[in-house]
Amino acid sequence: MICRYPTIFQVFRIPSSSSSSSYKEQVCIGLTPQASTLFAQELSLKATISSTLANKLQKLLMLSSHKRLLLDKLVHLATDLGLPPNFRSRLCNDYPERFKTVQTSYGRALELVSWDHKLAIPLPSSPNAQSPPDLIVDRPLKFKYLRLRKGLNLKRKHREFLISFGELPQVNPYCEDIGEVAYAPESIQAEKRACALVREVLGMMVEKKTLVDHLTHFRKDFNLSNKVRGMLVRHPELFYVSMKGQRDSVFLVEGYDDKGKLLEKDELLLAKERLVELVREGKKIRREIRRNGDNVSNDVDEDSDGDYEYDDDSEDEDGFENLFEEDDWEDYTVEDDDAEVLGGETDERFWTVEAASSVNADSASVSLEHW
């Protein structure tokens, strides 16, 4: 694997420090200057965004009904939020003025210490949700406008419900007093608050998306209904539910453009993309070496016993593709076989016009009544 990625790893020799060793030199491995630069930038980035990550945890606690969340539940959202793997032992204890860890009958939990009114401000309403696009003639429309993704067609009853839903007054999901939330579980106001709360949670994510299963872990903590997935599918103007893979994923529509690309990329995501680009550059170098008839295995130590062998026939399956995959990560890109069914291109976009019209529109029209 070391020789497969020349832009990440480099092999060098140093004099042997042991006089009894039969080898005069030792073979060592290190990072290339490009990889070392990326590593230093990532360390600096993690140090600067520590306060931002603490704000995310504090906002999640402020969204919860009892201002307390189990750490085992927060682990499900840690990767999507950009939290480090050791956030339970480091980040949760570095800001005692904001939150603290407590022991409960269900396990260790993170509890809110102080309420921050500056953070308790919901995301502004999407400017394009109810406003029509630029018109040639400046005159009011004779009908109410609802902005949806291209190619997404809804039934008239569903469209009228979404228009009336958008005309309801905005609900602030941040509530300092538990008694202030007095909506009936099946009321339209409760659904309005649930949509606003899920929108806040997705807005904190690095890629403005997460698994639907992760949201269901917080149903009781956020006072959500058991029909969370049905609510997400019922509101395509706010959320996009991808059914690719064994586990559904939900995206925040306003965070993406019509081509399914992020409008604003997080700094952590940019650092990850720089590393991926460096890996791809190394694979291009290996392809050029193979085209020129050179042997890639010449970089291996000549004094080795020949135990280091690998299959160099495949350019794609090199054992390094799962570097950025977590345990709960699913592939939501369109495969070659599925492209013929959905009518989309294999360009790794999160949604396409044909896929949205053929998949989400049908599932969204199954249940049109609010819960």
- At residue 37, what are phi and psi to the nearest 5 degrees? -65, -45
Q: Which residues of 289-301 are buried (b: 16+ CB within 10 A; e: fewer)?
A: eeeeeeeeeeebe
> Lowest-confidence range among 38-42, 167-171, 327-331?
327-331
Examine the pLDDT at 329 and tell me if it is beyond 60: no
Let me know: does 18 contact 292? Beta carbons within 8 Å. no
Let me know: does 242 contact 251? Beta carbons within 8 Å. yes
User: What is the mean pLDDT of the segment spanning 84-99?
Assistant: 91
Confidence at residue 43, expressed as pLDDT on a 0 to 100 scale: 87
Instruction: Give the model confidence (pLDDT) of 214-225 as tens digits.
Output: 999 999 999 898
User: What is the mean pLDDT of the segment spanning 224-238?
Assistant: 91
Reported confidence tier of residue 34, pLDDT bands at 50, 70, 90: very high
Let me know: does 47 contact 84? Beta carbons within 8 Å. no
Confidence at residue 73, expressed as pLDDT on a 0 to 100 scale: 94
36-115 placed in CATH 1.10.10: yes
Q: What percent of the chain has pLDDT over 90?
A: 39
Examine the pLDDT at 371 and tell me if it is beyond 50: no
> Lowest-confidence range among 168-182, 225-239, 280-294, 296-310?
296-310
Give first-to-last CA distance, the chain, whole Å: 53
List the beta bridge partners of residue 25.
15
Take residue 55 and report the two structure tokens written for it: 């704000």
User: What is the mean pLDDT of the segment spanning 141-153?
Assistant: 77
Closest CA to 60 of 44, 75, 45: 75
Reported confidence tier of residue 316, pLDDT bands at 50, 70, 90: very low
Task: Report how far residue 367's alpha carbon sits from residue 369's, in angstroms, rounded to the nearest whole number.
Answer: 6
Provide DSSP, 9-60.
EEEEEEE-S-SS-S-SEEEEEEE-HHHHHHHHHHHHHHHHSHHHHHHHHHHH
Reported confidence tier of residue 187, pLDDT bands at 50, 70, 90: confident
The greatest distance separating any two alpha carbons of the chain, rounded to the nearest whole angstrom, comes to 91
Q: Which residues of 239-265 are buried (b: 16+ CB within 10 A; e: fewer)?
A: bbbbebeeebbbbbbbbbeeebebeee
Confidence at residue 245, expressed as pLDDT on a 0 to 100 scale: 77
Task: Report how far residue 185's alpha carbon sits from residue 188's, in angstroms, rounded to the nearest whole number.
Answer: 9
Reported confidence tier of residue 133, pLDDT bands at 50, 70, 90: low
Confidence at residue 139, expressed as pLDDT on a 0 to 100 scale: 64
Helix (H, G, I), strand (E, B) or coil at 249: strand
Whole-angstrom Cα Rg for the chain: 26
Up-side HSE of residue 162: CA atoms within 13 Å toward CB? Answer: 27
Average pLDDT, the chain: 78
Closest CA to 210 of 224, 199, 195, 194: 199
Q: Which residues of 67-106 are buried (b: 16+ CB within 10 A; e: fewer)?
A: bebbbebbbbbbbbbbbeeebbeebbeebeebbeeeeeee
Chain centroid to Cα 14, Å, comes to 43
Confidence at residue 210, expressed as pLDDT on a 0 to 100 scale: 95
Start-end of CATH 1.10.10 domains in the chain = 36-115
pTM for the complete prediction?
A: 0.71
User: What is the mean pLDDT of the segment spanning 306-315?
Assistant: 43
User: What is the mean pLDDT of the segment spanning 241-264?
Assistant: 89
Q: DSSP assignment, residue 357?
A: I
The H-assigned helical ranges of 119-266 are 156-166, 188-204, 212-216, 228-234
Reported confidence tier of residue 252, pLDDT bands at 50, 70, 90: very high
Neighbour count for residue 267 (Cβ, 10 Å): 16
Confidence at residue 21, expressed as pLDDT on a 0 to 100 scale: 59
